[in-house]
Amino acid sequence: TAGSAAALRVRVAFDDRIGLRTFLALYWPQGCLFLLVLAATAFLARRAIRAISDPIRQVTEQSRKIAEGAYAAVELNTDFAEFAHLGVSMNRMVSVIAERTEKLQASEESYRNQFLKNVTPMLLVTRDIGEILEANAAAAHYYGRARHQLKTMRLEQLDAPETPASRVLRASVSPPASQGLRSEGKQRRAHGEICDVELSVSAIRFQELDLLHLIIVDVTERNAATAAANRHAAAAQQANEAKSEFLANMSHEIRTPLNGVLGMLDLLLSGRLGSSERRYAEIAQRSGSTLLGLINDILDLSKIEANKLTLESVGFDLMELMDQVGAILGARAVGKNLEVICAILPDTPRLLRGDPTRLRQVLLNLGGNAVKFAATGEVVIRAELQKKDGAGVEFRFSIRDTGPGIPEQKQHLLFQKFSQVDSSTTRQHGGTGLGLAISRQLVELMGGQIGLHSTPGVGTEFWFSLTLEQQPNDPAGTDLTPLAGLRALVVDDNETNRQLLTSWLGSWQMRPNAVGSAADAFVAIRQARAEGDPYAVALLDLSMPGMDGMQLAARIRNDTPDTATKLVLVSSVENMRDQAALTQAGFSDGLPKPVSPKELRKVLLQTLVIAAPPVRPDPAPARTQHRVLLVEDGEINQLVARGMLDAMGYTTDIAGNGAEALRVLAERDYDLVLMDVQMPVMDGREATRQIRQPGSAVRNRAIPVIAMTSYAMTEELDRCLEAGMNAHLTKPITRDGLHAMLQRFAPAATTTAPA
């Protein structure tokens, strides 16, 4: 208050323009008092500030030391109780932090030691200059030194001279090292031996240091095992090639005499033989065909194992393929009380692309087993459409029999090579156990699946699925005929046959009806005539219980001698009668089992629509103008091929080797050459090369040359084509195969101008 009053007086004095001397004289005591109060206040303020700021500065300094890891006790020089309590609290905190930090460091050290001890690969931590900073127990053991000794060494001291690891380190300094660097080299172990190692280097940055993690794995044993495996693989490959070559040679050696056996039997059966002689010749021919099938199975197995089996992709007719399978299996079932049925529905796609040869082989393998093991009942081969996806068509093929069935514990053996359900010496059925194994491998090569369902005492069904390509303009479902509207009766005690025949007749817009016995058929025919709508045709099964087809036909003719209903006999090949016997029994025609839809339609058209042509005896083969040169060194093979050619009406000349063939072709024109591959003096491939060579002395360098070889391996056939041959026939040569080849090349040969 005094100061304020004095200030007011000073202001008033100056405002009144009082002079300085007057001012000092008037206010000097008050000013001195004011200055004295001001100085005392400043002194007391400074003492108070130092009493507060010094402890705070001490706390700040101690906090900095704690942050740097110096956990010393805090000493605060202060008279304030609050700062004293703060110092005590900080000392407690420092003590806890120091204790926990010590435990953490001990734990980290223990963990690092355990980690470095238990890590299996050798682990080194180095500077980029090669100085070893850390090593684990595995590295110490490998190099025969203690860990602390390794920490005093440089990486170059551990390297073998062949591949120093320092090169890897220098390479790791580049930017890709941060992503990891891997290489293989050699290093020296504790006892001095040089071992193969795998080096993995990665760059890290730790506490402002550029470090490298170097992981070393001893791969000596692994490399040795790999080398041994490669040697074994090479040896296995060599053995596999030797086996394939051996099988090819054995195939040639076996096929050559087998060609003579089957060829001579074929010629023998084409002549006039007594019943006993014909039976003996047929048995010998079937035995030879069985032996040929066994050779083909072994050869196919070898091709599959060597990855040398190639699949075709050609067009084929599924209905014709099923007809062929049914005809072959039907012939095998002769003499058994067994129905063989090939079932393919009318709307099933027929024209497909795939490998018909392998598909036929699988069907025959599975169907042949069914015929072999089923004593009575039926074997049904069925092709069913599963789904269509664009041009792809998925089929399910099944082969069902009424045989003894297969126990569940034995089913896993079926698709294994050389395995059979019954392998005892008292088994009733023979076989090698290769058919099912080959079938499985063929189906899988064609991209399908295979399996089975079997119930002991009931039967077995094998199935496999395949996806095939449908050809354009497939006639499936469009086979309408002039048979539309005609009434037909199917008489068969087998339900599957009745369903199949009825489906085909219905697809041709006929009006089918089916009965299961001769008595029911007689009643149905009588009733239809009484209604004024008689059956146009009746398909009568020959073998039926109670009354067979022949007896039923006689009863029908005796009851109504008119021919309003045409009769067609359906029977197995064994019981088929000739045309004269069929006519005498009252039948218009006959159909062999298993019934083919193509043959069924043909017989119905000839019986109901077109007058059947008179039966004439087969004329003798007409002589053609075609001349064939047969180049073959084996006398038996010469007789077989020449006999077949003579039976087909061809004029044949024979040359004993390739050199002789060249001389003959230079002197005379021929339409076709059948060239054996393996011959003395000059083989068939070399002879063909010289025929095709420009400037050759032969009269026609473009003459078709057909290879005849006992080697059925793909490589051999490819070599024949590379030599200039047009096609090949595999021995044993069959009449059908030779005829097809002659029809393909011989007619064109007469119009081919010499090159």
Name the residue with higher pLDDT: 332 or 622.
332
Q: What is the pLDDT of residue 78?
A: 61
Name the residue with higher pLDDT: 21 or 644.
644
- Please give the Cα distance from 692 to 755 (Å, whole number): 9
- Please give the Cα distance from 617 to 241 (Å, whole number): 53
Which of 441-455, 546-560, 731-745 shows the highest mean pLDDT?
Answer: 441-455
| Closest CA relative to residue 673, chosen from 611, 571, 742, 739 | 742
The Cβ of residue 373 has, within 10 Å, a number of other Cβ atoms equal to: 21
Amino acid at 197: V
Of the given ranges (99-103, 248-252, 316-320, 497-501), which has the lowest mean pLDDT? 248-252
pLDDT tens digits, residue range 336-384?
A: 888 888 888 888 888 898 988 889 889 988 998 899 888 888 999 999 9
Amino acid at 91: N
DSSP 451: E
Confidence band of 465 (pLDDT split at 50, 70, 90): very high
Phi/psi of residue 481, each to 5°? -130, 170
The proportion of the chain whose per-residue pLDDT surpasses 70, expressed as a percent, equals: 69
Q: What is the pLDDT of residue 51?
A: 65
Q: Is the dihedral of CA 231, 237, 239, 241 positive or negative?
A: negative
Confidence band of 665 (pLDDT split at 50, 70, 90): very high
Tell me: pLDDT of 484 over 50.
yes
The DSSP string of 491-506 is: E-S-HHHHHHHHHHHH
Which of 68-82, 110-124, 558-572, 596-610 shows the highest mean pLDDT?
Answer: 596-610
Tell me: pLDDT of 14 over 60.
no
Which of 96-100, 192-196, 525-529 shows the highest mean pLDDT?
Answer: 525-529
Q: What is the pLDDT of residue 356?
A: 87
Tell me: pLDDT of 19 over 70.
no
Tell me: pLDDT of 612 over 50.
no
- What is the three-class DSSP state of 470? strand
Which two three-digit tokens encode residue 166? 């320092």
Q: Is the dihedral of CA 554, 559, 561, 562 positive or negative?
A: negative
Cis peptide before 732 (omega within 30 of 0): yes
Q: What is the pLDDT of residue 474?
A: 59
Q: What is the pLDDT of residue 428?
A: 46
The end-to-end CA distance of the chain, in Å, is: 144
pLDDT tens digits, residue range 294-344?
A: 677 777 766 676 666 778 888 888 988 888 888 888 877 877 888 888 888
| Closest CA relative to residue 364, chosen from 422, 414, 428, 293 | 293
Q: What is the pLDDT of residue 168?
A: 54
- What is the three-class DSSP state of 703? coil
| Closest CA relative to residue 326, chosen from 605, 592, 600, 602 | 592
- Beta-bridge partners for 651: 627
Tell me: pLDDT of 625 over 70.
yes
Name the residue with higher pLDDT: 631 or 304.
631
Average pLDDT for 208-227: 76
Confidence band of 173 (pLDDT split at 50, 70, 90): very low
Q: Where are the beta strands (DSSP E) in 110-189?
A: 122-127, 132-135, 181-188
Phi/psi of residue 44, each to 5°? -65, -40
pLDDT tens digits, residue range 575-587?
A: 455 667 788 888 8
Contact 13/26 with Cβ under 8 angstroms?
yes
Tell me: pLDDT of 746 over 80.
no
Q: What is the pLDDT of residue 710?
A: 74
- Please give the Cα distance from 443 to 456 (Å, whole number): 26
Tell me: pLDDT of 166 over 70.
no
Average pLDDT for 553-563: 78
The DSSP string of 44-82 is: HHHHHHHHHHHHHHHHHHHHHHHHTT--PPP----S-HH
Q: What is the pLDDT of residue 421?
A: 52
pLDDT tens digits, residue range 28-46?
A: 777 777 788 888 887 777 7
Tell me: pLDDT of 116 over 60.
no
Confidence band of 685 (pLDDT split at 50, 70, 90): very high
Confidence band of 615 (pLDDT split at 50, 70, 90): very low
Q: What is the pLDDT of residue 704?
A: 93
- Please give the Cα distance from 342 to 501 (Å, whole number): 11
- Please give the Cα distance from 507 to 504 (Å, whole number): 5
Q: What is the pLDDT of residue 539?
A: 94
CB burial class (10 A; 0-12, 13-18, 19+) of residue 626? buried
**β 511-515/487-491 pair status:** parallel
- Please give the Cα distance from 583 to 219 (Å, whole number): 88
- What is the three-class DSSP state of 356? helix
- What is the three-class DSSP state of 330? helix
Q: What is the pLDDT of residue 177?
A: 44
Q: What is the pLDDT of residue 618?
A: 46
Average pLDDT for 41-63: 72
Of the given ranges (113-122, 187-196, 657-666, 730-739), which has the lowest mean pLDDT? 113-122
Confidence band of 216 (pLDDT split at 50, 70, 90): confident
DSSP 155: G
| Closest CA relative to residue 723, chosen from 682, 679, 686, 670 | 686
Confidence band of 567 (pLDDT split at 50, 70, 90): very high
Half-sphere exposure of 408 (CA within 13 A, CB side): 1
Amino acid at 703: I
Q: What is the pLDDT of residue 104?
A: 75
- Please give the Cα distance from 295 to 297 (Å, whole number): 5
Tell me: pLDDT of 27 over 90.
no
Average pLDDT for 643-667: 90
Q: What is the pLDDT of residue 364?
A: 87
Specify the length of the chain in residues. Answer: 755
Buried b (16+ CB within 10 A) or exposed e, 567-592: bbbbbbeebbbeeeebeebbbbbbbb
| Closest CA relative to residue 443, chosen from 473, 391, 398 | 398
Average model confidence (pLDDT) for the chain? Answer: 77
Q: Is the dihedral of CA 517, 523, 526, 529 positive or negative?
A: negative
| pTM of the entire predicted model | 0.54
Contact 350/315 with Cβ under 8 angstroms?
no
Confidence band of 686 (pLDDT split at 50, 70, 90): very high
Q: What is the pLDDT of residue 606?
A: 86
Phi/psi of residue 97, each to 5°? -60, -45
Tell me: pLDDT of 672 over 70.
yes
Q: What is the pLDDT of residue 429?
A: 47
Q: What is the pLDDT of residue 338?
A: 86
Q: What is the pLDDT of residue 232?
A: 87
The Cβ of residue 560 has, within 10 Å, a number of other Cβ atoms equal to: 14
Distance (Å) of CA 32 to CA 1, 39, 602: 16, 11, 150
pLDDT tens digits, residue range 521-538?
A: 999 998 998 888 999 999
Q: What is the pLDDT of residue 466?
A: 93
